[in-house]
């Protein structure tokens, strides 16, 4: 009986020892890896300032509308329906703004000011009952915008964006319809000009490439500043006038370079 008990006790002890050794040899289960978080390698955040150069063009013309006294005396064909169409010219100036980045989304504001050579002048000669020289000119000496931008980084340092906002510019136009000989008698001798700062809107898109604090961009904008209308005064045909109206709307393509700082003035209001 004692021998059987000893044998049983030995068997239990050997089983327990084997279990402990097996537990010592077991490889602990690997803890799950934390989910990977994408951190952009290039940061667009900050205030930027730079310059741009490009060109602009428009499909608009000056629309000429003589009053009835002119059309009765000289006929409708004595005056062109439109003149000085399709202005174009250079655009150059400065821009500044701020960016905020949220992963691959970049939001921001941008303002710019440009001197422009967008203008067109034309002289049209007619000869119905008398020879008449019709001369028109339209020009946009300067142009500016204040816009919001929203973009997406297709690569960390390549930003594609859309933009929309306010636009303004100095609109100027002039028109004259005169007898090719000196003004005299009952011949047309109408002169008129006007200028005004117009306000409107601009919308566009662009792509920007960054390297360090510098970036370079190409941008397209369509702008619409509204219409400027003038009324000529005739020196010889008292009480007669010609109305000339021009819509100042067009397109701009420009390239720019920016330098960006790691802060923005908006930090005072919104924080970083």
189 vs 44 pLDDT, higher one: 44
The token duo for 246 is 């021009």
pLDDT in tens, 56-114: 999 999 999 988 888 777 777 888 999 999 999 999 999 999 999 999 999 999 999 99
What does the CA dihedral 62, 63, 69, 74 come to, rounded to 10 degrees? 80
Residue 105 to residues 13, 218, 252, 264, Cα–Cα distance (Å): 67, 19, 25, 17
Measure CA 217 to chain center: 12
pLDDT, residue 160, reads: 98
pLDDT, residue 103, reads: 94
Query: CB count, 10 Å around CB of 218?
Result: 15
The token duo for 196 is 């005004």
Measure CA 174 to chain center: 28
Q: Would you give the DSSP letter of residue 186? A: T
pLDDT, residue 185, reads: 65
Cβ contacts of residue 28 below 8 Å, gap of 6+? Answer: none
Q: How confident is the model at residue 184 (pLDDT cuts 50, 70, 90)?
A: low
**Cα separation, 84 vs 72, whole angstroms:** 25
Q: Are 66 and 242 in contact (CB under 8 A)?
A: yes
pLDDT in tens, 16-69: 444 434 444 444 454 455 444 455 579 999 999 999 999 999 999 999 998 888
Q: Report the first-to-last Cα separation within the chain, whole angstroms.
A: 85
Domains present along the chain, CATH in parentheses: 46-270 (2.40.160.20)
Residue 133 to residues 27, 127, 130, 236, 242, Cα–Cα distance (Å): 100, 9, 10, 15, 14
Cβ contacts of residue 194 below 8 Å, gap of 6+? Answer: 172, 173, 174, 228, 229, 230
Helix (H, G, I), strand (E, B) or coil at 263: coil
pTM: 0.81
Q: Would you give the DSSP letter of residue 23? A: H
Question: How many CA atoms lie within 13 Å of 10's alpha carbon, on the beta-carbon side?
Answer: 6
């Amino acid at each position: 009986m004692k021998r059987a008990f000893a044998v049983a006790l030995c068997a239990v002890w050997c089983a327990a020892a084997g279990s402990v050794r097996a537990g010592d040899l077991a490889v602990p289960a690997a803890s799950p890896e934390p989910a990977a978080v994408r951190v952009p390698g290039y940061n667009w955040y900050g205030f930027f300032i730079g310059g741009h150069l490009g060109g602009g063009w428009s499909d608009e013309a000056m629309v000429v509308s003589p009053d009835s006294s002119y059309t009765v005396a000289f006929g409708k064909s004595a005056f062109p329906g439109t003149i000085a169409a399709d202005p174009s010219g250079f655009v150059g100036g400065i821009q500044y703004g701020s960016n905020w980045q949220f992963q691959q989304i970049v939001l921001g504001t941008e303002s710019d000011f440009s001197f422009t050579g967008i203008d067109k002048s034309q002289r049209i000669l007619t000869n119905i009952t008398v020879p008449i020289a019709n001369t028109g000119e339209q020009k946009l000496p300067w142009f500016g915008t204040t816009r919001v931008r929203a973009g997406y980084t297709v690569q960390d340092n390549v930003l594609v964006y859309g933009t929309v906002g306010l636009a303004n510019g100095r609109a100027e136009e002039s028109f004259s319809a005169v007898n090719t000989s000196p003004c005299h008698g009952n011949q047309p001798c109408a002169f008129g000009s006007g200028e005004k700062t117009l306000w409107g809107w601009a919308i566009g898109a662009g792509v920007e490439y960054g390297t360090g604090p510098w970036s370079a961009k190409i941008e397209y904008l369509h702008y619409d500043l509204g219409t400027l209308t003038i009324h000529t005064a005739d020196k010889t045909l008292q009480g007669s006038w010609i109305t000339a109206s021009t819509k100042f709307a067009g397109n701009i393509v420009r390239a720019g370079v920016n330098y960006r700082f790691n802060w923005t003035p908006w930090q005072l209001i919104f924080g970083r």
